[in-house]
């Protein structure tokens, strides 16, 4: 489903590829990502208004490096190469790409050297974001230089008629001044796109499509209380009403009051939801288990059994609704090679293939922020839309070591204190994810002149774009101090609080 214009983003493996597609959609033009080895005919058959070549980690002159088909550059639609995209273009067009003596990385000043529609109303000197080792030493014959960085290093070139354009910097990254304006110049001025991609119209079309696709049949959906499944269910509910039955599996690994709060939110949305309390079953299966991978496997297996039993009640269903998003599709490699491999552990809650249900994935073309916007249009409460991500295996992977109802309760209470402080400081929506981890060690403390020997809580708060990489959040010292005091005062099972100051990489966001 799309507006009348489509921009294809060819992925050479850059960490910013999805960002390019999102920025294009922010400019109200529909964009899709395809792997670099998509046959050229397939790209042409989609009749794009333009093509963007992403960055990537390879070295264009090396044998076997991903490259574009020369044919792609002989079409009438404009092509914009970014970073590695510029280098592969230069290489294919007969220019020379060499290893730089040093990398250009981070903020770099460049000078625009030519009048080109890409730089309409952009100052001649600007600071941009670079991230590359190789450089284009000699421009392809017949092209003109567009920009250069210090020392005359080429930072862009174009063909004289102007429809093949290459830039060494990343306009999609916020640190590039006028980055969004440069992309808009490409979309509107060069590709002739209209800003017509609109999520309100998208929802209406999607609702009509779901109605048509499911033809009066029954749909079942596993609701977690997270953004994706809730928005998928709400959208589908608008299409088919009570032909949609939702199942909320309480695995006993949820946060303080979470089951009650999400059930209330579902009621407010008028969704037909069955609450299946399977906490005992999960906790029994997890008894004595401390290995993280075993925990995840057990939770996945029990979830599948519980969901299957619930879904088969009342004569079963014909369709399974899932909140799959566009990044899931790209990361799972369903759209081809070159994309990152999905972490299999993120598929907890994935369902058996022999369930004999047709799969309905209405959000599969959307990014997370677009799903939030649709959710807002459909009246999903902000409390659900802005929730921090929460892993399928829940507190099991934050309660390190063996689980017990008592340790889970300790963790729940500590987590609630931390989140409460973050909310009160007005920081909740600024943080990608914040939570407490209960460590499997005890340490000595002293309280009221009495020796204590109790557990340790670790505070984790991170900033991220998509969870694939993350930096730790510099929370104010006063906030951390208040949280540590409250946790130790209110929860006698904990006598020490530490802060996790590791990024991802080298750590992951969750501890298990
Ligand atoms: P890691 O810990 O791998 O996590 O850096 C990245 C993001 O994914 C979330 N996460 C999960 N989400 N099922 C999920 O639905 C899982 O098994 C799972 N494990 C991690 C994590 O909270 C973070 O947002």
| 172 is a catalytic site residue | yes
415 CB within 6 A, ligand 1: no
Distance 74 CA to ligand 1 centre (A): 43
- The residue whose C-alpha atom lies closest to atom 21 belonging to ligand 1 is 391
Q: In a 10 Å sphere around its CB, with 0-12 CB exposed, 13-18 middle and 19+ buried, how is residue 139 labelled?
A: buried
- Give phi and psi for 115, each to the nearest 5: -80, 115
The residue whose CA has the least distance to atom 11 of ligand 1 is 391
Contact partners, residue 440, CB within 8 Å, separation at least 6:
290, 400, 401, 402
Q: Which is catalytic among the residues 172, 245, 258, 370?
A: 172
Q: Is the shortest distance between the CB of 508 and ligand 1 below 6 Å?
A: yes
Among 394, 467, 472, residue to substitute to test ligand 1 (most atoms within 8 Å of Cβ): 467
Give the per-residue pLDDT at 261. Answer: 93
Euclidean distance between the first and the last CA atom of the chain, given in angstroms as a whole number = 38
> Where do we find the tokens 């959609």?
25
The CA 346 to ligand 1 mean position distance, Å, reads: 6
161: helix, strand or coil? coil
Catalytic member of 116, 132, 170, 238: 170
Is the CB–ligand 1 distance for residue 393 below 6 Å?
yes
Residue 40 among the catalytic residues = no
Question: In ligand 1, which atom is closest to the CA atom of 470?
Answer: 5
CA of 69 to the centre of ligand 1 (A): 37
CA of 232 to the centre of ligand 1 (A): 20
Tell me what pLDDT residue 106 has: 87
Judge residue 64's burial from the number of C-beta atoms within 10 Å of its C-beta, 0-12 exposed, 13-18 middle, 19 or more buried.
exposed
Q: How close is the Cα of 392 to the center of ligand 1, in Å? A: 8
Dmax of the chain from CA atoms?
82
Residue closest via CA to ligand 1's atom 14 equals 391
Decide whether any atom of ligand 1 lies within 6 Å of the 297 Cβ.
no
* Sign of the C-alpha dihedral computed for residues 252, 256, 260 and 261 taken in this order: negative
| Whether the CB of 29 sits within 6 Å of ligand 1 | no
Annotated catalytic residue 170 = yes
Task: Specify the pLDDT at position 353.
Answer: 60
pLDDT tens digit at each of 512 positions of the chain = 444 799 999 999 998 898 999 999 999 999 999 999 999 999 999 999 999 999 999 999 999 999 999 999 999 999 999 999 999 999 999 999 998 777 888 899 999 999 999 999 999 999 999 988 899 999 999 999 999 998 888 999 999 998 999 999 999 998 899 999 999 999 999 999 999 999 998 999 999 999 999 999 999 999 999 999 999 999 999 999 999 999 999 999 999 999 999 999 999 999 999 999 999 999 999 999 999 999 999 999 999 999 999 998 878 899 999 999 987 777 665 443 333 332 333 333 455 566 678 999 999 989 888 999 999 999 999 989 999 999 999 999 999 999 999 999 999 999 999 999 999 999 999 999 999 999 999 999 999 899 999 999 999 999 987 787 889 999 999 999 999 999 999 999 999 999 999 998 899 999 99
Q: Is residue 505 reached through a cis peptide bond, with omega within 30 degrees of 0 on the bond before it?
A: yes
Beta bridge partners of 486: none
Check residue 349 and give its pLDDT: 43
> CA geometry: angle at 210 spanning 206 and 215, to 5°?
155
Give the per-residue pLDDT at 354.
Answer: 65
CA distances (Å), 134 to each of 7, 34, 55, 63, in order? 27, 24, 12, 15
Q: HEC states along 387-433? A: CCCCCCCHHHHCECCCCCHHHHHHHHHHHHHHHHHHHHCCCHHHCCE
């Amino acid at each position: 489903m799309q507006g009348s214009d489509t921009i294809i983003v060819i992925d050479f493996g850059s960490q910013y590829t999805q960002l390019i597609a999102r920025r294009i959609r922010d400019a109200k033009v529909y964009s899709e990502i395809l792997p670099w080895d998509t046959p050229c005919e397939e790209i042409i058959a989609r009749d794009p208004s333009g093509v963007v070549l992403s960055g990537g980690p390879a070295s264009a002159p090396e044998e076997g490096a991903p490259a574009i088909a020369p044919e792609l550059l002989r079409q009438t639609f404009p092509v914009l190469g970014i970073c590695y995209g510029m280098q592969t273009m230069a290489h294919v067009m007969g220019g020379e790409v060499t290893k730089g003596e040093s990398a250009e990385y981070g903020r770099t000043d460049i000078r625009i050297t030519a009048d080109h529609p890409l730089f309409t109303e952009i100052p001649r000197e600007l600071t941009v974001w670079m991230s590359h080792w190789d450089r284009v030493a000699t421009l392809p014959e017949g092209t003109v230089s567009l920009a250069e960085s210090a020392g005359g290093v080429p930072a862009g070139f174009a063909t004289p008629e102007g429809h093949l354009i290459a830039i060494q910097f990343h306009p999609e990254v916020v640190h590039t001044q006028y980055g969004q304006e440069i992309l808009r110049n490409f979309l509107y001025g060069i590709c002739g796109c209209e800003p017509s991609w609109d999520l309100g119209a998208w929802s209406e079309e999607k609702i009509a499509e779901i109605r048509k696709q499911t033809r009066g049949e029954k749909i079942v959906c596993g609701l977690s209380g997270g953004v994706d499944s809730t928005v998928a269910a709400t959208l589908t509910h608008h299409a088919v009403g009570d032909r949609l039955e939702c199942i909320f599996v309480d695995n006993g690994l949820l946060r303080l009051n979470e089951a009650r709060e999400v059930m209330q939110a579902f009621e407010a949305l008028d969704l037909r939801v069955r609450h299946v309390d399977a906490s005992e079953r999960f906790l029994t299966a997890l008894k004595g288990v401390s290995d993280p991978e075993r925990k995840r496997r057990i939770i996945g297996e029990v979830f599948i059994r519980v969901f299957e039993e619930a879904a088969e009640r009342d004569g079963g269903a014909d369709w399974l609704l899932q909140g799959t998003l566009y990044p899931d599709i790209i990361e799972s490699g369903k759209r081809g090679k070159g994309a990152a491999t999905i972490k299999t552990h993120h598929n907890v809650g994935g369902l058996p293939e022999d369930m004999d249900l047709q799969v309905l994935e209405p959000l599969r073309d959307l990014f997370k922020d677009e799903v939030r916007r649709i959710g807002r249009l459909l009246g999903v409460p902000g409390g659900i839309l802005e929730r921090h991500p929460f892993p399928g295996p829940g507190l099991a992977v934050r309660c390190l070591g063996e689980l017990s109802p008592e340790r889970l309760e300790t963790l729940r209470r500590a987590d609630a204190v931390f989140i409460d402080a973050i909310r009160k400081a007005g920081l909740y929506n600024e943080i990608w994810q914040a939570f407490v981890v209960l460590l499997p060690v005890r340490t000595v403390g002293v309280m009221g002149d009495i020796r204590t020997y109790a557990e340790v809580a670790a505070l984790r708060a991170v900033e991220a774009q998509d969870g694939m990489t993350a930096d730790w959040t510099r929370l104010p010292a006063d906030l951390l101090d208040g949280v540590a005091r409250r946790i130790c005062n209110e929860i006698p099972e904990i006598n020490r609080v530490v802060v996790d100051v590791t990024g991802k990489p080298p750590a992951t966001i969750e501890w298990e």
